[in-house]
Amino acid sequence: MGHRHFNGVKTAALFGVMWALLLGLWYLVGNGSPGLLVLFSGFGLAMTFYTYWNSDKLAIKSMHARPVSEFEQPEMYRIVRELSTAARQPMPRLYVSPTMSPNAFATGRNPRNAAVCCTEGILQLLDERELRGVLGHELMHVYNRDILTSSVAAAIAGVISSVANLLFFFGGSDRDRNPLVLIATMVFAPLAASVIQLAISRTREYDADEDGAKLTGDPLALASALRKLQSGTVRAPLPQTQDLADVSHLMIANPFKGGGIGALFATHPPMDQRIARLENMARGMNGGSPHTGRY
C-alpha cells in the first residue's frame, strides 16, 4: 500500500497546485472579482461533465473500434469476466480497434457504463497471461474512477488556458499590464497546467499497474506485457492526430513516438520504471524472488 498511498497524496497535491494557479490567474484577471471566479468555475464544470459523461463514446469513436461478441473474442471475454467477477463489478462492454498498433484502454463514467477496448495488434502480440495482466490494469482505471480524475484535470487545465488568454488580451488591473508579464503569463500558465495534468495521468498509471497486478495476482504478467508494448508501439505507432491525442492518456502504453524533451509531456511514466515497480512487487509476493517460473 506504500506506493498507492504516496500516489494518492501526490495526485491531491498536484490538484492543489492547479487550483492555486487558477486562483492566482483569477486574481490577476478580475482583481479578485467573485463573478469571474463563478463564470470560469462553471465553464470548467460544464467541460468536466461533458467529457466525463461521454468518455466512452469519444474514445471508442477515436479508435474506430467496434463491439465484439464472445464468439469472436472468447479469450478476451473469459479474462474480463473472471476479473470483473473477482472484483465484484459488472461486466463491461468489449471492443476491438482495427489497428496493428498494440494498445488497450478502458473508459466509461462508472463500472456499470464501462467499455474495454483492445487493438488487433495487442491481441496478436500478447499471450493469454500477458493479456490478463493488461486487462486487469485497464479495469482498475474504471474501478478507481480515473476517468473522472483525468476529466477534472483536463477541465481545470482548459480553464487555466482560457483565463491566461483573457489576461493577455484584456489585461488585469493597471499594475498587472506589463507586456512582458502578460506574455510570460499567457505562455507559462497553460504550460504549467499541462505539465501538472500529465503528471496526474502518470500517477494514475502507477496506481492502475499496482492495483491491476493485485487483481490478477501476477505482477510479472503485466511487466512482461509492458516490455512487449514498449517495442511494439515504437514499431507501429498511431498517427498523432488531435482526436487520438485527446484519448492517448487512456491507453496502457504511449501510442506515439517520443523521446528527449517529449518525455516531459508524456501521458505515461517511463516503461522501465513501471516494469521495475512490478518486479519489486513480485519480489514481495514471492519471498524476495522476482521469478515465478511462468515466463
Q: Active site includes 138?
A: yes
What mean pLDDT value characterizes the chain? Answer: 80
pLDDT surpasses 50 at 2: no
The number of residues making up the chain comes to 295
**Catalytic position from the list 82, 128, 138, 279:** 138
Per-residue HEC secondary structure of 23-83 comes to: HHHHHHHHCCCHHHHHHHHHHHHHHHHHHHHCHHHHHHHHCCCEECCCCCCHHHHHHHHHH
Residue 280 pLDDT exceeds 90: yes
Check pLDDT > 80 for residue 83: yes
pLDDT digits (tens, 9 = 90+) for 133-159: 999 999 999 999 888 777 777 767 777
Report the largest interatomic distance among the alpha carbons of the chain, rounded to a whole angstrom: 69
pLDDT band with cut points at 50, 70 and 90 for residue 44:
low
Q: Which DSSP symbol is given to 88? A: T
More confident residue, 216 or 44: 216
- The pLDDT-based confidence of 292 (bands split at 50, 70, 90) is very low
Q: Assess contact for 116 and 93: CB atoms under 8 A.
A: yes
**Contacts of range 43-50, beta carbons closer than 8 Å, 24 or more positions apart:** 43/159, 43/162, 44/155, 44/156, 44/158, 44/159, 45/155, 47/154, 47/155, 47/158, 47/159, 48/151, 48/152, 48/154, 48/155
Res. 236: pLDDT tops 70: yes
Greater confidence (119 vs 284) lies with: 119
Give 237 or 265, the one with higher predicted confidence: 237
Cα distance between residue 180 and residue 186, in whole Å: 10
Closest CA to 250 of 238, 260, 232, 261: 238
Q: Which residues is 66 bridged to in the sheet?
A: 96
Q: What is the phi/psi pair of residue 255, to 5°?
A: -80, -5
Q: Which of 27, 4, 2 is nearest to 176 (CA)?
A: 27
CA gap 157, 195 in Å, rounded: 9
By C-alpha distance, which of 140, 118, 110 is closest to 63?
118
**pLDDT value of position 295:** 35
pLDDT at 274 over 80: yes
pLDDT per position as a tens digit, 176-205: 555 655 666 667 766 776 777 777 788 889
Q: Are the C-beta atoms of residues 62 and 246 closer than 8 Å to each other?
A: yes
Burial class (CB in 10 A: 0-12, 13-18, 19+), 158: buried
| Between 188 and 109, residue with greater pLDDT | 109
